[in-house]
Structure 1
């Protein structure tokens, strides 16, 4: 008997069991990701060990490998979660603005907080330094999704090539981000202002 063909009480029981398993798995994965980030920060620039991450998370090796193929897989997941959180922060900052040019500027300044904020910079440097296979196993950089956030405000600002313009700005800003993370430096106010004005001038709107 397929679950979909089962009586309602049976389907309800299965749904409850699956929901509980999903909640438990989500908690386990979040715990592992948090532990990996803490360990990576402590031992940077040296590579974190799976044994240390497992101990930090308070889980077994079996539990770790239930969710991740290995350390590289884990660090990519940590990176992608960080990018997702950054995306939420950028959306919040952009929502505070109504003028599209100000929204673009908010996006740029928000991305640069990853090197101007000490905690964010330390976390970003520790994680990026451990990425072995590129940002994503599929070959797609999660940072590209952040660039897509620029398309609408760039279009509203009058650009005829908003997708291309968004890609160029994303490459310029994340390139500066990576340069500072690699050098363990941070852009001062003058440099941040210059990056913003440079990108806005490039839009010619």
Structure 2
């Protein structure tokens, strides 16, 4: 996976051939195909690993803000997601993997849903403490919106500045606090 990610990032998102990946990893084709059903399975595994890393980082940032209250926790979590577009190396790697996953890896969209669901689970408690009428729904909406903003910034290669991040976070916090329209 590391060799595949490195080749994707070096190639500006071009899809490396399996032969290039196995050569860079120092493996045989047989070893590659024992681990992965093909290149799409490798891309899906890299996407899933990246999603787990994002969730782990968000969890860490929320935990660090635990003593500062639910707004600080949610702010920290949302900003941690956006960091993927703000950090040049992370953005390069994430863009390369997303370019390889778009349309090519049939289950990569499932990873995106799993990412939003995992983030929503992390955001639900602070959302509840902020008074969200339906904390999980509010958390899922905030998670989906921050992932969509991240993807926008990655695909446009824009680096969000502090003002853009603050606008997004403030907007999402206001949405979390909005009354539940079903009540």
Q: State the TM-score, normalizing by the size of structure 2.
A: 0.89
Task: Indicate how the Cα distance of structure 1 residues 137 and 62 shifts in structure 2: closer, same or farther if over 3 A, else same.
Answer: farther
Tell me which residue corresponds to 2:18: 50
Tell me which residue corresponds to 1:69: 37
Which ranges of structure 1 fall in alignment gaps of 5 or more residues? 1-32
Tell me which residue corresponds to 1:199: 172
- Which of 94, 113, 119 is 1:146 aligned to? 119
Partners of 1:88 and 1:94 lie apart in 2 by 10
- Count residues with an aligned counterpart: 173
- Which of 17, 25, 35 is 2:3 aligned to? 35
Partners of 1:181 and 1:126 lie apart in 2 by 10
CA contact (8 A) 2:142 2:176 kept: no
Partners of 2:34 and 2:85 lie apart in 1 by 34
Max Rg structure: 1
- Which of 162, 167, 182 is 1:189 aligned to? 162
3-state SS in 2 of match to 1:130: helix
CA contact (8 A) 1:150 1:166 kept: yes
Tell me which residue corresponds to 2:137: 164
The alignment yields a C-alpha RMSD, in angstroms, of 1.6
CA contact (8 A) 1:75 1:130 kept: yes
Instruction: Report 1 or 2 for greater relative contact order, CA contacts < 8 Å, sequence distance ≥ 6.
Output: 2
**Does 2:47 align with 1:79?**
yes
Partners of 1:134 and 1:90 lie apart in 2 by 26
Which ranges of structure 2 fall in alignment gaps of 5 or more residues? 179-183
Q: State the TM-score, normalizing by the size of structure 1.
A: 0.80
Instruction: Please identify runs of 4+ aligned residues in structure 1 that moved more than 2 A.
Output: 133-142
**Does 2:76 align with 1:106?**
yes
Residues 180-199 of structure 1 deviation map (CA, whole Å, 9 limit, x = unaligned)? 11111111110101011111
